[in-house]
């Protein structure tokens, strides 16, 4: 897991420098020169457009990065040719921005990790030994998690007389906190799929509830014994109880500390969710601004078309 985290951080810190700094104008199309640290490729605009549409189809979502669109109605009305210098430069700048956002997004790697995106820039692929090492680390992580859960369940097993093991429940609770911290780290590193995170979180909640049930039953039983509700035979009571009042007090203090740790962990999760919500809100505001600008462009286009139609009618009438 440590190696996986280190590799993950290393990949995120390595920014892929992409330049679209050259143009070749052919009789019927334009080639845009794409430069990376290891390669220089020439691509037509239609190839960039195909990359965008195929990514959206395979991922099943609209790509969030700005892309220079195809010529619109006004461009055709103004008869802007494919080799128009202004349009070529606008596309070159837009394509460079699009590629850098696509391949250097630190928060959403599902686009650049696809085979389509990797093949587009002919990026290097991990060799077979690296893939096997990655699979080995993931398998080792799964085995380590299962062993930890198995130990916790053994701690929660009942004593030979059928009574719940309070000391075992305390040991299990400590291991559960370590397991939860480990799961939170895996979530932050994005080293587990969402389905596996949900499964592990549900399992931890179930085991924690079992610990709480054992602690609650033990407290009720001890209170009954202290109040004389249980048997009056002190020797047999001590044999069944098997612990002192000091042990009971320590157990209760441990439960309080554990609950405080749970609240701290819950606070961290809520803070992370709040950060995500703020980011989503900013993104929605940006999208709303873009939609407003698009509506303004549509209105302007409509007004221009109306003016053009009036001029055309006037010309026909005068003719």
CATH code of the domain in which 82 resides: 3.30.1520.10
Is the same domain home to 43 and 136?
no
Output the six-digit token pair for 155.
């701690």
Is 227 a residue whose pLDDT tops 90?
no
Average pLDDT of the chain is 76
Residue 52: pLDDT band with limits 50, 70, 90: very high
Percent of the chain with pLDDT over 70: 73
Examine residue 273 and state whether it is found in any structural domain, yes or no: no
Examine residue 278 and state whether it is found in any structural domain, yes or no: no
> How many structural domains comprise the chain?
2
Is the same domain home to 112 and 162?
no
Q: Which of 120, 144, 163 is the endpoint of a domain? A: 120
Is the same domain home to 105 and 185?
no
pLDDT tens digits, residue range 269-307? 888 788 788 888 888 888 888 888 888 888 888 888 888
Q: What is the mean pLDDT of residues 61-72?
A: 82
Burial class (CB in 10 A: 0-12, 13-18, 19+), 261: middle
Full DSSP string of 160-224: TTS---HHHHHHHHHHHHHHHHHHHHHHHHT-S-HHHHHHHHHHHHHHHHHHHHHHHHHHHHHHH
Examine residue 228 and state whether it is found in any structural domain, yes or no: yes
Is the same domain home to 170 and 114?
no
Residue 163: pLDDT band with limits 50, 70, 90: low
Is 231 a residue whose pLDDT tops 50?
no
What is the rounded CA–CA span in Å between residue 285 and residue 69?
Answer: 22
Examine residue 6 and state whether it is found in any structural domain, yes or no: no
pLDDT tens digits, residue range 128-155? 444 444 554 455 555 577 777 887 877 7
Q: Residue 42 — φ and ψ, nearest 5°?
A: -120, 125
> Is 111 within 8 Å of 105 (Cβ atoms)?
yes
CB environment 127-147: b (16+ within 10 A), e (fewer): eeeeeeeeeebeeebeeebee
| Four-CA torsion 226, 229, 233, 236, nearest 10 degrees | -70
Q: Residue 218's domain spans which residues? A: 126-232
Q: Which of 101, 120, 139 is the endpoint of a domain? A: 120
> Is 216 within 8 Å of 164 (Cβ atoms)?
no
Examine residue 295 and state whether it is found in any structural domain, yes or no: no
Examine residue 93 and state whether it is found in any structural domain, yes or no: yes
* pLDDT value at residue 99: 94
Q: What is the mean pLDDT of residues 165-191?
A: 79
pLDDT tens digits, residue range 69-119? 776 544 544 455 667 888 889 999 999 999 999 999 888 888 888 999 999
* pLDDT value at residue 240: 44
Please choose, from the candidates 222, 110, 121, 117, the residue with its C-alpha nearest in 3D space to the C-alpha of residue 166: 222
pLDDT tens digits, residue range 99-109? 999 999 888 88
* pLDDT value at residue 219: 67
* pLDDT value at residue 155: 76
Is the same domain home to 82 and 102?
yes
Is the same domain home to 86 and 145?
no
Examine residue 294 and state whether it is found in any structural domain, yes or no: no
Q: Which of 188, 209, 232 is the endpoint of a domain? A: 232
Is the same domain home to 96 and 25?
yes
* pLDDT value at residue 98: 93
Is the same domain home to 76 and 170?
no
Is the same domain home to 79 and 138?
no
pLDDT tens digits, residue range 10-35? 444 478 899 999 999 888 889 999 99
Is the same domain home to 133 and 104?
no
Pairing of strands 30-35, 19-25: antiparallel
* pLDDT value at residue 157: 74
Examine residue 264 and state whether it is found in any structural domain, yes or no: no
Instruction: Please tell me which residue, 225 or 115, carries the higher pLDDT value.
Output: 115
Is the same domain home to 91 and 139?
no
* pLDDT value at residue 93: 93
Is the same domain home to 18 and 112?
yes
> Is 53 within 8 Å of 69 (Cβ atoms)?
no
Which range has the top average pLDDT, 76-80, 125-129, 262-266? 262-266
Q: What is the mean pLDDT of residues 193-212?
A: 83
Pairing of strands 19-25, 40-44: unpaired
């Amino acid at each position: 897991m440590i190696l996986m985290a280190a590799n993950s951080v290393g990949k995120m810190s390595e920014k892929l420098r992409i330049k679209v700094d050259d143009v070749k104008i052919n009789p019927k199309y334009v080639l845009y020169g794409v430069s990376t640290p290891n390669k220089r490729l020439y691509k037509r605009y239609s190839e960039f457009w195909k990359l965008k549409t195929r990514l959206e189809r395979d991922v099943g979502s609209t790509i969030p990065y700005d892309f220079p669109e195809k010529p619109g109605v006004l461009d055709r009305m103004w008869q802007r040719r494919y080799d128009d210098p202004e349009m070529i430069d606008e596309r070159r700048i837009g394509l460079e921005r699009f590629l850098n956002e696509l391949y250097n997004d630190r928060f959403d790697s599902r686009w650049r990790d696809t085979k389509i995106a990797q093949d587009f820039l002919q990026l290097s692929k991990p060799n077979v030994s690296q893939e096997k090492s990655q699979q080995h680390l993931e398998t080792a992580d799964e085995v380590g998690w299962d062993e930890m859960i198995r130990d916790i369940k053994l701690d929660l097993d009942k004593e030979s007389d059928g009574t719940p093991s309070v000391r075992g429940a305390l040991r299990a609770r400590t291991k559960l906190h370590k397991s939860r911290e480990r799961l939170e780290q895996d979530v932050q590193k994005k080293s587990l799929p969402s389905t596996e995170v949900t499964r592990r979180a549900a399992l931890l909640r179930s085991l924690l509830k079992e610990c709480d049930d054992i602690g609650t039953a033990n407290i009720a039983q001890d209170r009954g014994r202290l109040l004389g509700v249980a048997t009056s035979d002190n020797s047999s009571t001590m044999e069944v109880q098997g612990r002192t009042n000091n042990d009971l007090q320590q157990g209760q203090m441990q439960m309080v500390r554990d609950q405080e740790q749970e609240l701290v962990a819950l606070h961290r999760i809520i803070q992370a969710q709040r950060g995500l919500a703020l980011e989503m809100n900013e993104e929605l505001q940006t999208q709303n601004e873009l939609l407003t600008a698009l509506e303004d462009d549509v209105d302007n286009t409509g007004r221009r078309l109306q003016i053009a139609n009036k001029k055309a009618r006037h010309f026909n009438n005068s003719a």
